Structure 1
Amino acid sequence: MTQTDIWRLNATDLTALTRSGELSALEVTQNAVDRMHQANPDLNAVVEDLSTEALERARELDAAVAGGAPAGPLHGVPVTIKINVDQKGRATSNGVVALKDVIAPEDAPVVRNLQKAGAIVIGRTNTPEFSFRADTDNPLHGRTHNPWGRHISPGGSSGGAGAGVMAGIGALAHGNDIGGSLRFPAAANGAVTVKPGLGRVPAWNPSQQAERGILAQSMSVQGLITRSAADLHLSMPSLIAADPRDPFHVSMPWRGEALDDPIKVAFTKNTFGYALHPEVDKALDTARDALVDAGYLVEEIDPPDVFECGRSGYRALMGEVLTLMQNDIKAAGSETIREIFDVYFQEFPPIVETDLIRMLAKRTHYAREWSLFMEDYALVLSPFLPQPFFKPDRDTEGVEGVHEVLGCAVYSYAMNFLGLPAACVPSRLADLPSGPQPINVQIAARRWREDMAVNAAAAIEARVGQMCLPLWEKMDT
Structure 2
Amino acid sequence: MTQQDTLWRLGAAETAQRAASGEITAEAAIGAAIARMNAVNPALNAVVEDLSAEAMERARALDKARAEGAAPGPLFGVPVTIKINVDQAGHATSNGVLALKDYLAPADAPLVENLQKAGAVVIGRTNTPEFSFRADTDNPIFGRTHNPWGAHISAGGSSGGAGAAVMAGIGALAHGNDIGGSLRFPAAANGAVTVKPGLGRVPAWNPSQKAERGMLSQAMSVQGLIVREAADLHAGMPTMIAPDPRDPFHVPLPWRGAPLVGPIPVAFTKATYGFDLHPEVSAALDTARDALNDAGYQVEEIEPPLLKECALDGYRALLGETSALLGPDIAAHGSETVQAIFEEYFRQFPVFEGTELLKMMAKRTYYARQWSLFTERYPLIITPFLPQPFFAPDRDTEGAEGVQEVLGAALWSYAMNFVGLPAGSVPARLADLPKGPQPINIQIVGRRWREDLVVDAMAAIEARVGRMCDVLWQRMN
Which residue in 2 is equivalent to 1:391? 392
| Whole-angstrom CA distance in 2 between matches of 1:30 and 1:448 | 36
Amino acid at match of 1:259: L
How far apart, in 2, do the equivalents of 1:403 and 1:444 lie?
23
- In the alignment, which residue of structure 2 is the partner of 1:471? 472
**C-alpha displacement of 1:15:** 1.2
1:314 and 2:315 are equivalent in the alignment: yes
Shift of 1:78: 0.2
| SS of alignment partner, residue 309 of structure 1 | helix
Q: Aligned residue for 1:125?
A: 126
Letter in 2 for 1:351: F
Shift of 1:203: 0.2
Question: How far is 1:375 from its partner?
Answer: 1.0
Segments of structure 1 that go 5 or more residues without pairing to the other structure are none
Number of the residue aligned with 1:227: 228
User: What is the CA distance between 1:14 and its match in structure 2?
Assistant: 1.0
Instruction: Answer yes or no: is 1:3 the counterpart of 2:15.
Output: no
Distance 2:361 2:405 in 1: 26
**Partner amino acid, structure 2, of 1:178:** I
Q: Which amino acid aligns with 1:111?
A: V
SS at match of 1:437: strand
Q: Tell me the residue number matched to 2:135.
A: 134
1:9: how far off? 0.7
Q: Report the AA paired with residue 166 of structure 2.
A: V
Q: Which residue of 1 aligns with 2:411?
A: 410
- Counterpart in the other structure of 2:43: 42
Which amino acid is 1:238 matched to? T
Query: Match of 2:86?
Result: 85
Amino acid at match of 2:171: G
Deviation >3 Å, runs of 4+: none
Q: Which residue of 2 aligns with 1:199?
A: 200
- For 1:455 and 1:30, the matched residues in 2 are separated by 31
**1:175-324 pair list within 5 angstroms:** 175-324=176-325
State the partner residue of 1:446: 447
Provide the C-alpha distance between the structure 2 equivalents of 1:395 and 1:237, rounded to a whole number of angstroms: 35
Find the aligned partners of 2:59 and 2:373 in 1 and give their Cα distance: 48
TM superposition shift of 1:2: 3.4
Q: Aligned partners of 2:239 and 2:383: how far apart in 1?
A: 28
> Offset at 1:394?
0.2
Q: Write the distance in 2 (CA, Å) between the matches of 1:21 and 1:311.
A: 52
Residues 281-319 of structure 1 show CA distances to partners (whole Å, capped at 9, x for unaligned) of 000000000000000000000001111101110000000
Secondary structure of 2:24's counterpart equals coil
In 2: Cα distance, 1:59 partner to 1:349 partner: 54
Q: Does 1:57 align with 2:58?
A: yes
The normalised TM-score by structure 1 is: 0.99
Matches within 5 A, 1:108-123: 108-123=109-124
Q: Distance in 1 between matches of 2:466 and 2:261?
A: 27
**What letter is aligned with 1:3?**
Q
Letter in 1 for 2:107: E
1:352 is the counterpart of 2:353: yes
RMSD over equivalenced CA pairs, Å: 0.5
- Cα shift readout 1:335-363 (whole Å, capped 9, x = no counterpart): 00000000000111111100011001110
**SS of alignment partner, residue 8 of structure 2:** helix
Counterpart of 2:2 in structure 1: which amino acid?
A: T
User: Deviation at 1:261?
Assistant: 1.5
Secondary structure of the residue aligned to 1:439 is strand
- Aligned residue in 2 for 1:342: 343
> How many percent of aligned residue pairs carry the same amino acid?
71
Q: Distance in 2 between matches of 1:76 and 1:213?
A: 37
How many residues end up aligned between the 2 structures? Answer: 476
State the match for 1:171 in structure 2.
172
* Mean CA deviation greater in 4-13 or 145-154: 4-13
In 2: Cα distance, 1:264 partner to 1:348 partner: 35
- Aligned residue in 1 for 2:379: 378
Partners of 1:117 and 1:411 lie apart in 2 by 34
Q: Secondary structure at the match of 1:205?
A: coil
SS in 1 for 2:232: helix
Counterpart Cα distance in 1 of 2:103 and 2:349? 31
- Please state whether the residue corresponding to 1:199 is helix, strand or coil: coil
Residues 34-93 of structure 1 show CA distances to partners (whole Å, capped at 9, x for unaligned) of 100001000000000000000000011001111111000000000000000000000000
The aligned amino acid for 1:52 is A
Question: 2 CA distance for matches of 1:218 and 1:153?
Answer: 28
- Equivalent position of 2:148 in the other structure: 147
The one-letter amino acid paired with 1:416 is N
The offset of 1:16, in angstroms, is: 1.4
Partner of 2:145: helix, strand, or coil? coil
**Distance in 1 (alpha carbons) for counterparts of 2:349 and 2:63:** 52
- Which stretches in structure 2 are left out of the alignment for 5+ residues? none
SS in 2 for 1:48: strand
SS at match of 1:399: helix
Deviation digits for residues 388-434 of structure 1, max 9, x if unmatched? 00000000001110000000101000000000000100000000000
What per-residue deviation string (whole Å, max 9, x for no partner) do you get for residues 431-465 of structure 1? 00000000000000000000000000000000000
Partner of 1:13: 14
Mapped partners of 1:23, 1:344: distance in 2: 50
Report SS of the residue matched to 2:136.
Answer: coil
- Cα distance in 1 for partners of 2:237, 2:27 equals 23
